[in-house]
Amino acid sequence: MQSWDFPPVPVVPGRGPELRLYDTSDRQVRPVAPGSGPGSAATMYVCGITPYDSTHLGHAATYLTFDLVYRQWLDLGHDVHYVQNVTDVDDPLFERADRDGVDWRELGDREVARFREDMAALRVLPPREYVAATEAIPEVVELVEKMLASGAAYVIDGDYPDVYYRADATPQFGYESGYDRETMLRLFGERGGDPQRPGKTDELDALLWRAARPGEPSWPSPFGDGRPGWHVECAAIASSRIGSGLDIQGGGSDLIFPHHEFTAAHAECVRGERRFARHYVHAGMIGWDGHKMSKSRGNLVLVSTLRAQGVEPAAIRLGLLSGHYRADRFWSPQVLDEANARLRRWRTATGLTAGPDAADVVARIRQYLADDLNTPKALAALDGWATDALEYGGHDTDAPRLVAAAIDALLGVEL
């Protein structure tokens, strides 16, 4: 699948500390160590969209989070191998296509194109490999075959011989989320699981391969025609494109369970590994009008709508970065107004012919971002530099240019 264009990223003199991020499974901030020094590879897999609707600010906040990770790694001199999927075959896509009277492929293609446009406008760095689930069917089939052969999966008898993964196939299942069984069952039912499916060994067992039903797309496999379950597609894509030693598995906090827990378990049971990824990183939810922004609730603020209204993507980006990535937070007109004011102020300050020394503020930006992507502190440091530049001036003729380059490279905001 075609990704979007890679925007220019300025090279800023100097080097900051190595990145430290909160790990969901360990419940603490700890170093992300993709290699022993500059030039070493860093790997990241982030779950992509199910393209049945347009990109909203919740999506944008998630992908901005991992864009910041990408930018910190580049600034540290790492080569970055970033993979993202598109779940272009799933029930919500079929349901929306049926509702709108369009082919599910047409709907998916349209919304993926809009997503790419939104990501490019927000200057989100694209993945090296952008993979649709329908492009990875052979990898999914191979992975399911291995799970069946090892006893980690089983086929349900009946008219529709679906294939299920045994939740107890790995002894460490549940370590990523840390949830108890009651919480798992509740979230499993709320987030695409089928705990009441007759014939399952355990209510938590997850669908790997859905046997072909009338009117649904399907692909051939040794265990019957059908299509992939949700979690296994990500396990298959990450394993085939990156392999072992994944540094970061990322996504929104609503994916912690069941999606990321099962994705990790699928890969671990086949590889015989303890951990699918060295770091599990999750972004908080964005709310609007008192509730989490979601397609099911319909309280969406779309990136494309804001852009059509003339809102600068740089202001959208700054508004989302004004809160910490792990915090659940609300979007509002006030957030956007403050972002626009900040953007104007920064542009005025970096447009001066001279300003205060830039070395200290650039070092602090790097320090704050390296400390679990602390964007509120990074933005505050830049606000302080801009205030000094506008109120007191300065004698460093290179400072405005250097600060603007750092804002672009590290925060992705082009002034």
The annotation status of 298 as a binding-site residue, yes or no, is no
The annotation status of 242 as a binding-site residue, yes or no, is no
Per-residue pLDDT, averaged over 151-176, amounts to: 97
The annotation status of 305 as a binding-site residue, yes or no, is no
pLDDT of residue 240: 96
Strand order from edge to edge, sheet including 329-330: 291-292, 286-288, 329-330
The annotation status of 239 as a binding-site residue, yes or no, is no
Per-residue pLDDT, averaged over 356-385, amounts to: 98
Q: Which residues, in sequence order, are bridge partners of residue 30?
A: 21
pLDDT of residue 291: 79
pLDDT of residue 35: 58
The annotation status of 230 as a binding-site residue, yes or no, is yes
Q: Please check whether residue 33 is in contact with residue 18, taking contact to mean a CB–CB distance below 8 angstroms.
A: yes
- Residue 39 pLDDT grade (very low, low, confident, very high; cuts 50, 70, 90): low
The annotation status of 365 as a binding-site residue, yes or no, is no
- Residue 23 pLDDT grade (very low, low, confident, very high; cuts 50, 70, 90): very high
The annotation status of 269 as a binding-site residue, yes or no, is no
pLDDT of residue 143: 98
Percent of the chain with pLDDT over 90: 93
The annotation status of 234 as a binding-site residue, yes or no, is yes
Per-residue pLDDT, averaged over 158-172, amounts to: 96
The annotation status of 81 as a binding-site residue, yes or no, is no
pLDDT of residue 292: 77
- Residue 71 pLDDT grade (very low, low, confident, very high; cuts 50, 70, 90): very high
Which of the residue ranges 72-81, 88-97, 182-191, 295-304 would you say has the lowest mean pLDDT? 295-304
pLDDT of residue 40: 62
Model pTM? Answer: 0.96
More confident residue, 391 or 296: 391
Per-residue pLDDT, averaged over 157-181, amounts to: 97
Per-residue pLDDT, averaged over 297-325, amounts to: 94
pLDDT of residue 193: 96
How would you classify the pairing of strands 129-132 and 153-155?
unpaired
pLDDT of residue 316: 98
The annotation status of 361 as a binding-site residue, yes or no, is no
Per-residue pLDDT, averaged over 351-362, amounts to: 97
What the chain holds in terms of domains, given with CATH numbers, is 20-297 (3.40.50.620), 311-324+333-411 (1.20.120.640)
Over residues 203-225, the pLDDT tens digits come to 999 999 999 999 999 999 999 99
pLDDT of residue 80: 95
Over residues 175-200, the pLDDT tens digits come to 999 999 999 999 999 999 999 999 99
Per-residue pLDDT, averaged over 369-389, amounts to: 98
The annotation status of 55 as a binding-site residue, yes or no, is no
Per-residue pLDDT, averaged over 266-271, amounts to: 97
The annotation status of 85 as a binding-site residue, yes or no, is yes
The annotation status of 86 as a binding-site residue, yes or no, is yes
**What's the chain's average pLDDT?**
95
Residue 295 has pLDDT above 80, yes or no: no
Residue 163 has pLDDT above 60, yes or no: yes
pLDDT of residue 283: 98
Residue 36 has pLDDT above 70, yes or no: no
The annotation status of 253 as a binding-site residue, yes or no, is yes
The annotation status of 252 as a binding-site residue, yes or no, is yes
Over residues 120-146, the pLDDT tens digits come to 999 999 999 999 999 999 999 999 999
| Three-state DSSP string of the chain | CCCCCCCCCCCCCCCCCCCEEEECCCCEEEECCCCCCCCCEEEEEECCCCCCCCCEHHHHHHHHHHHHHHHHHHHCCCEEEEEEEECCCCHHHHHHHHHHCCCHHHHHHHHHHHHHHHHHHCCCCCCCEEEEHHHCHHHHHHHHHHHHHHCCEEECCCCCCCEEECCCCCCCCCCCCCCCHHHHHHHHHHCCCCCCCCCCCCCCCEEEEEECCCCCCCECCCCCCEEECHHHHHHHHHHHHCCCCEEEEEEEHHHHHHHHHHHHHHHHHHHCCCCCEEEEEEECCEEECCEECCCCCCCCCEHHHHHHCCCCHHHHHHHHHCCCCCCCEECCHHHHHHHHHHHHHHHHHHCCCCECCCHHHHHHHHHHHHECCCHHHHHHHHHHHHHHHHHHCCCECCHHHHHHHHHHHHHCCCC
Residue 59 has pLDDT above 70, yes or no: yes
Residue 244 has pLDDT above 90, yes or no: no
119 vs 115: CA distance, rounded Å: 6
